[in-house]
Amino acid sequence: MAGAAGARRSRSTGRVTLADVAQAAGVSPITVSRALRGERAVAPELCERVRAAAAALGYVPDPAARALASSRSSHVAVLIPKLSNTLFVDLLDAVQNTLVPAGYQTLIGVTHYSAAEEEAALRSFLAHRPAGLIVTGSDRSAAACALIDGSGVPCVRVMEVGREEGGYSVGFSQRDAGRAITQQLLDSGRQHIAYVAAQLDPRTLERGEGYAAALAHAGLADRTNQVLSAEPSSMALGGAMLERVLLDAPQTDAIFFCNDDLAQGALLAALRLGIAVPGRVAVAGFNDLPGSDQMLPPLTTVATPRREIGAQAAQMLLKLMRGQPVDAPHLDLGFQVVRRASA
């Protein structure tokens, strides 16, 4: 006797449901579901009626209900090592730009370069039944790999090209890139080239291998000088490492830094200390980050296609999630040596 009808036991959320659209269009809910998803053939005329009704009512499918019924959400989990590196933020941005218009939502997991954190993130994300997965690099614990494989969730690895590991990957050869920039230094007449790296992830190490290979190829294997620091990368650290290298190995006439932030810091430190670049020492970086072209002198570096990697990986994942064939499971997007005045 409380008033209008339907006021008992109602858990209704007030939202427009599939059933509402079905009623308005004069068809069954399943038909609405199929028409709206474009799944299976629905008579064109019905299709039209359903779309019109959905639009008129302002129907928005409930992702939770859809996920529960289909046991697959509209989420794509993206695992990156850090948010403080422009590289990964650019990658993420590009991924989002192609996934969001396709109706997917991105879930970000930051792993801090830790295998344990990656595993934990994977475990938690997989519980959300993501439709897809994008992970950084090819190096991960066996447990993490098992988690991914066992889940059956399509996964694309980014930044490196991992043909050997199977699966799907989009990136470029870190080794070749390291080799190319070192070769550039050699070509400009440098003989005592050091490789300075921080935040020793596998990609950093691979660039070091490329560096060593270039020296070996030039018959300078005995002059290899890799200065590695496990500290996080920063401009301040770059400056400090420049000083250290020139102190420990004064004959050094060129330094290849594993990342532009280190190189930018080194350039600024050189300016402060009155060390001529490239006169006394040539400086090269990696990634072509914002600001590298503004340095004094402008920084010679390797431009990496992180945005395109993100876009292509997302595109590949889209195909996998839709069950469409992927013609090339491993995409090598290359890199570009950008010669500026610092080397």
Partner DNA sequence: CTGAAAGCGCTTACAG
Distance CA 332, CA 286 (A): 18
What is the residue whose two structure tokens read 């350039």?
Answer: 267
Look at residue 105 and give the partner it binds from a copy of itself, DNA, none, a contact being a CB closer than 5 to 8 Å depending on partner kind. a copy of itself
Pick from a copy of itself, DNA, none: which does 10 bind, CB < 5 to 8 A by kind?
Answer: DNA
C-beta atoms surrounding 55 within 10 Å: 10
Considering only 67, 102, 249, 275, the residue that binds a copy of itself (CB under 8 A) is 67
Q: How far is the CB of 238 from a copy of itself (least distance, A)?
A: 9
Q: Which residue from 36, 46, 102, 110 is in contact with a copy of itself, where contact means CB under 8 A?
A: 110
Q: Which is nearer to DNA, 63 or 290 (CB)?
A: 63
The rounded distance, in Å, linking the Cα atoms of 135 and 137 is 7
In this structure, what is the dihedral angle of CA atoms 267, 271, 273, 277, given to the nearest 10 degrees? 60
57 binds a copy of itself (CB under 8 A): no
Q: Which residue's CB is nearer to DNA, number 40 or number 244?
A: 40
Helical (H) or strand (E) element with 97: helix 86-99
- Please give the structure tokens belonging to residue 240: 């400090």
In the numeric block, the tokens 């609405």 are attached to 32
Q: In this structure, how many other beta carbons lie within 10 angstroms of the beta carbon of residue 167?
A: 17
Q: Which is nearer to a copy of itself, 62 or 165 (CB)?
A: 62
At its nearest, how many Å lie between DNA and the CB of residue 21?
8
Cβ burial, residue 233 (10 Å; 0-12/13-18/19+): buried
Distance, CA of 234 to CA of 105 (rounded, Å):
31
Angle at the Cα of 187 from the Cα atoms of 185 and 193, rounded to 5 degrees: 35
Nearest-approach distance from CB 13 to DNA, in angstroms:
4
Q: Which stretch binds a copy of itself (CB under 8 A): 35-43, 67-75, 172-180, 218-226?
A: 67-75
Contacts to a copy of itself from residues 117-156, by CB under 8 A:
123, 127-129
CB nearer to DNA: pick between 46 and 333? 46
Stretch that binds a copy of itself, among 173-181, 216-224, 262-270, 309-317 (CB under 8 A): 262-270
Residue 39 partner contact from a copy of itself, DNA, none using kind-dependent CB cut-offs of 5 to 8 Å: DNA
| Pairwise CA distance, residues 94 & 307, whole Å | 5
Tell me how far apart the alpha carbons of residues 192 and 218 are, in angstroms, rounded to a whole number: 12
Cβ distance to a copy of itself smaller for residue 95 or 212: 95
The verdict on 228 binding a copy of itself (CB under 8 A) reads no
Going residue by residue from 179 to 218, which x/- string records binding to a copy of itself, judged by CB under 8 A?
----------------------------------------
Residue 326 within binding range of a copy of itself, rule CB under 8 A = no
Neighbours of 242 (CB within 10 A): 29
Q: How far is the CB of 220 from a copy of itself (least distance, A)?
A: 32
Residues with Cβ < 8 Å from 177, sequence gap 6 or more?
A: 207, 210, 286, 302, 304, 335
Q: Which residues are registered as beta bridge partners of 226?
A: 195
For 300, which DSSP code? B
Q: Is 10 in the site for a copy of itself (CB under 8 A)?
A: no
* Interacting residues toward a copy of itself by CB under 8 A: 13, 60-65, 67-68, 71, 73, 83-84, 89-90, 92-93, 96, 105-108, 110, 123, 127-129, 234-236, 239, 261, 264-265, 268-269, 271-272, 290-291, 293-296
